[in-house]
Structure 1
Amino acid sequence: MKLIIEIALKFLFGKKSKGIINVISTISIIGVSVGTIALLVILSVFNGLHGLIGSLYGSFDPDIKVTAVEGKFFSTDSLKIKEIKELDGVIKVSPVIEDNALLKYNNRQVTAMVMGVDSTFREVTQLDSIIVEGKFNLRDKQGFGGAIGYVLADQLNVRVAFLTPLLIYVPQRNKRINLNRPNEAFNTHYIHPKGIFLVKQMEYDSKYLLVDIDLVRKLFVYKDTEVTSLAIGLKEGSDSANIQEKIQGILGSGLKVENRHQQHASFYKMMRVERIMAYLILCFILIIATFNLIGTMSMLIFDKKEGIKILKSIGANKKMVTRIFLVEGWLISLIGVVAGLLIGIVLVLLQQHFGLIKFSGGNNFVVDAYPVALEIPDIFYSLITVTTIGFFAALYPVKIIVGKYFNENY
């Protein structure tokens, strides 16, 4: 094999009879390099988007969320909450009740998701980091407070400094609405929002109002032990998968225990599908680009017709000659992919650390520059993909043309 590689290197880098062959070889290498750069950059962009959206979700969502498999709520009476709190890596277990309600401020009305939490909720999420106006305060001397999403606050035209209270309407369970006295069919309560949060995700910013869980229990008529979910915070660096498995074992099959990815399973599944589709499209483009390799190998083999004669005269068989030119074609792909990977890595790292390519439109986006993240597996995926495509692109012309010249000469 060593001899085959040495001869292939000599054929590839040796003097050619026609300068155009060098040009064609260079074009093939450049084509493979550009395809490799595109593949690595696109995969890195998806990594960046995945990490960016995940960080945005992580500011509002707990590390682990427990919900009922069936029904809207469940009782914590028979649950071993204390045993969960004592697990190594668990910080807090926070009760949560959320349900739909109508919000009214002056003449504006908007339906929203009212989420009842207690003071421990800020310990199981990064809520304080996304408060952009006021502070997260559920209750004070003035009464019930809370935090409202930025977009929802704009829709209602409410701010933390306004004196007019926000009114929450909740329909009473199993009670018909009397058209003459519709207000009697609703539980109502006034609050003064103390903070406005901004997750930079519409499903949160335009939807959620966080208030004290005791108020929510009163409005929606829940018992003290009933919750719609449990928010569990973990210590940084803890084994979340192992803790999740232990919590599931403690709670049993009647409750779902989900990590942050599972809480948004449809989104992350869509991201994976988009990533796979982008990968397949780029592979197709690479296959088209490597057709240059067919012409290149044809010219290289034609230029080395005399070399084939010499090789056969010293005892080389057809199989050995075929392998020499296969290695030569593979080396062209390898040179292209290595050059492409080096350039691609440099470009991705520059964008990742310095944000050279920025979004136009100022501060209208979540981040200023295109998010990218370089991951080691993507380098290997790109290397294996491009070299495999290059090998099979060279296989057909080498077998056909080498066989033709080998048989013609002798």
Structure 2
Amino acid sequence: MRLILEIALKFLFGKKSKGIINVISTISIVGVSVGTIALLVILSVFNGLHGLIGSLYGSFDPDIKISATEGKFFSTDSLNIKEIEALDEVAYICPIIEDNALLKYDDRQVTAVVMGVNAAFSKVSQLDSIIVEGEFNLRDKQGFGGAIGYVLADQLNIRVSFLTPLLLYVPKRNKKINLMRPNEAFNTHYVHPKGIFLVKQMDYDSKYVLVDIDLVRDLFQYKDSEVTSLAIALKDGYDNYATQKKIQKILGAGLKVENRHEQHASFYKMMKVEKMVAYLILCFILIIATFNLIGTMSMLIYDKKEGIKILKSIGADQKMVTRIFLVEGWLISLIGVICGLAIGIILVLIQQYFGVITFGGSSSFVVDAYPVALVAMDIFYTLLTVTTIGFFAASYPVKVIVKRYFNEN
């Protein structure tokens, strides 16, 4: 194999009899390099988007969420909460009750999700980091407070400095609406939001208002032990997946325990599908680009007809000559992919750390520059993909043409 590699290197880098062959070889290498750069950069962009959206969700979502597999709520009386709290990995547990309600402020009305939490919610999430106005305060001397999403606050035209309170309308359980007196079918209460949060995701900013869980229990007529979910924050340095399995084992099959990815499973699945589709499209483009190897290998073999004759005269069989040119075609792909990977890695790292390519227009985007993230497995998959495509693209013309010239000699 060493002899085959040495001869292939000699044929590839040795002096050609025709200058056009050098140009064709260079074009093949450049084509493979450009395809490699495109593949690596696109995969890195998807990684960056994946990480960016995940970080935005992570500012509001807990590390682990416990919810009912059936129904809207469950009772904590039958759960071994003390055993979960005793786990070394668990830092905080926050009970949550959330349901739909009607919000009314002056003459504006908007339906939203009222989420009842306690003070530990700022520990199980990163809520304090996304408060853009005011503070997260559930109750003070003036009464019930809370926090409201930025878009929802705009829809209601409410700010934390305004004195007029926000009115919550919640339908009573098992109470039919009397058209003559519709107000009797609703529980109502005033709150004065003390903070406005901005997740930069419409699913949160336009829907959620956070208030004290005791108030929500009274409004929705829940028992003290009933919750819609439990939010858990884990300590740093522990494996989330292993802790999730421990908690699931403690709770049994009646409840579902979800990590942050599983809380938004549809989004992450969509991102994986989009990344796979982009990968397949670029692979198809690479296959077209590597067709240059067919012409390149044809010209290289034609240029080395005398070399084939010499190899045959010193005892080389057709199989050995075929392997020499197969290695030569693979070397062309390898040179192209190595050059492409080197340039692609440099471009991605420059964008990742310096943000050279920015979004145009106003500064209303979540980030100023296009997000990218370099992943080692993407480098490996790109190397494997391009070299494999290049090898198979060169194998057919090499086998056919070498056989012809070998028999002619």
Asked whether the 8 Å contact 1:359–1:370 carries over to 2, the reply is yes
Shift of 1:235: 1.1
- Does 2:90 correspond to 1:56? no
2:231 aligns to what?
231
Match of 1:308 in 2: 308
Say which SS state the counterpart of residue 173 (structure 2) adopts. Answer: coil
Which residue in 1 is equivalent to 2:29?
29
Matched, 1:216 2:216: yes
Separation in 2 of the partners of 1:250 and 1:227? Answer: 18
* Helix, strand or coil at the partner of 1:146: strand
Equivalent position of 2:158 in the other structure: 158
Percent identity, aligned pairs only? 81
Deviation at 1:296, TM superposition (A): 0.3
Aligned to 2:383: 383
1:184-199 alignment, distance < 5 Å: 184-199=184-199
Corresponding residue of 2:20: 20
Find out whether 1:174 has 2:174 as its counterpart. yes
- Provide the residue aligned with 2:105 in structure 1: 105
Distance 1:40 1:399 in 2: 31
Matches within 5 A, 1:11-410: 11-409=11-409
- Cα displacement string for residues 378-398 of structure 1 (whole angstroms, at most 9, x for unaligned residues): 110000000000000000000
CA offset digits 1:213-262 (Å, max 9, x no partner): 00000000000000000000011221111110000000000000000000
CA RMSD of aligned residues (A): 0.5
Note the alpha carbon deviations across 1:178-224, whole angstroms, 9 max, x for none.
11111000000000000000000000000000000000000000000
Partners of 2:150 and 2:239 in 1: how far apart?
34
Q: Which amino acid aligns with 2:354?
A: F
SS at match of 2:247: helix
> How far does the alpha carbon of each residue in 1:325-361 deviate from its partner, in whole angstroms, 9 at most, with x for none?
0000000000000000000000000000000000012
1: distance between equivalents of 2:237 and 2:130?
Answer: 22
Q: Hey, what's the Cα distance between the residues in 2 that align with 1:361 and 1:79?
A: 53
Q: Distance in 1 between matches of 2:293 and 2:68?
A: 58
| 2:134 partner amino acid | G
Instruction: Name the SS for the 1:407 alignment partner.
Output: helix
Mapped contact 1:29–1:332 kept (Cα < 8 A) = yes
Rounded to whole Å, the distance in 2 between the matches of 1:390 and 1:281 is: 16
| SS across alignment from 2:137 | coil
Is contact 1:362-1:368 (8 Å) kept? no
Q: Distance in 2 between matches of 1:261 and 1:374?
A: 20
Helix, strand or coil at the partner of 1:369: coil
In structure 1, stretches of 5+ residues that fail to align are none
Q: 3-state DSSP class of the match of 2:188?
A: strand
For residues 103 and 290 of structure 1, what CA distance do their matches in structure 2 show? 61
Give 1:174 shift: 1.1
Give the secondary-structure state (helix, strand or coil) at the position aligned to 1:253: coil
Q: Which amino acid aligns with 1:314?
A: I
- Matched residues in 1 for 2:361 and 2:244: separation? 42
Query: Following TM superposition, by how much is the alpha carbon of 1:300 offset from its aligned partner in structure 2, in angstroms?
Result: 0.3
Q: Secondary structure at 1:348's aligned position in 2? A: helix
How far has the Cα of 1:362 moved from its partner?
Answer: 3.1
Deviations 1:105-131 (A, max 9, x none): 001000000000000111111000000
Q: Which amino acid is the alignment partner of residue 195 of structure 1?
A: G
Deviation sequence 1:282-318 (CA, Å, 0-9, x none)? 0000000000010000000000000000000000000
- The one-letter amino acid paired with 2:125 is T
Q: For 2:373 and 2:238, how far apart are their aligned partners in 1? A: 23
The alpha carbon displacement at 1:363 in A equals 1.3
Q: Can you give the 5+ residue segments of structure 2 that lack an aligned partner in the other structure?
A: none
- Deviation, structure 1 residue 66: 0.1
Q: In 1, Cα distance between the equivalents of 2:157 and 2:285?
A: 51
CA offset digits 1:249-284 (Å, max 9, x no partner) = 000000000000000000000000000000000000
After TM superposition, which residue ranges in structure 1, 4 or more long, deviate above 4 angstroms? none
Counterpart of 1:217, as a letter, is R
Q: What is the count of residue pairs matched by the alignment?
A: 409
SS, match of residue 71 in structure 2: coil
Q: Distance in 2 between matches of 1:237 and 1:262?
A: 20
Q: What SS does structure 2 have at the residue aligned with 1:138?
A: strand
Q: CA deviation at 1:163?
A: 0.4
